[in-house]
Amino acid sequence: DTGVSQDPRHKITKRGQNVTFRCDPISEHNRLYWYRQTLGQGPEFLTYFQNEAQLEKSRLLSDRFSAERPKGSFSTLEIQRTEQGDSAMYLCASSLDGHRFYTEAFFGQGTRLTVV
């Protein structure tokens, strides 16, 4: 396994268009996270899945954003009617639920979105 992979690596879109990103976690990991990183900032939590269940969503995730993780494997993040403020790096991470013990979250290389 080569780690968390994200596709595409870069996306340029016109304002108002819809975009969809994909994340493939490490195969045995049941937790999957989406973060957004804007220039000069640290990553900010967007949402989190345990298997196929979306357990938490940040208030940063407006109605234009939707995330899915069908069958608890890969995940998609869709942004509808993109705005220039959506331009950012979208990071995916995965981990194995360690129940009482912490297990490391592994990050993908991210998808850089530019809205023009």
Exactly one of 1, 3, 17, 62 binds other proteins (CB under 8 A); which one?
A: 3
- To the nearest whole angstrom, how small is the minimum distance from the Cβ of residue 104 to other proteins? 6
Based on the shown chain and the rule CB under 8 A, indicate whether residue 43 belongs to the binding site for other proteins.
yes
Strand partners, 68: 76
Q: Does 45 bind other proteins (CB under 8 A)?
A: yes
- Cβ 86 to other proteins, closest distance in Å? 19
Subset of residues 89 to 108 that bind other proteins, contact rule: CB under 8 A: 91, 102, 104-105, 107-108
Using rule CB under 8 A, residue 55 touches other proteins: yes
With contact defined as beta carbons under 8 Å apart, do 35 and 43 qualify?
yes
CA-CA distance, 21 to 47, in Å (whole number)?
14
**Which residue in the block uniquely carries the two structure tokens 């850089």?**
112
What CA–CA distance (Å, rounded) separates 116 from 110?
Answer: 19
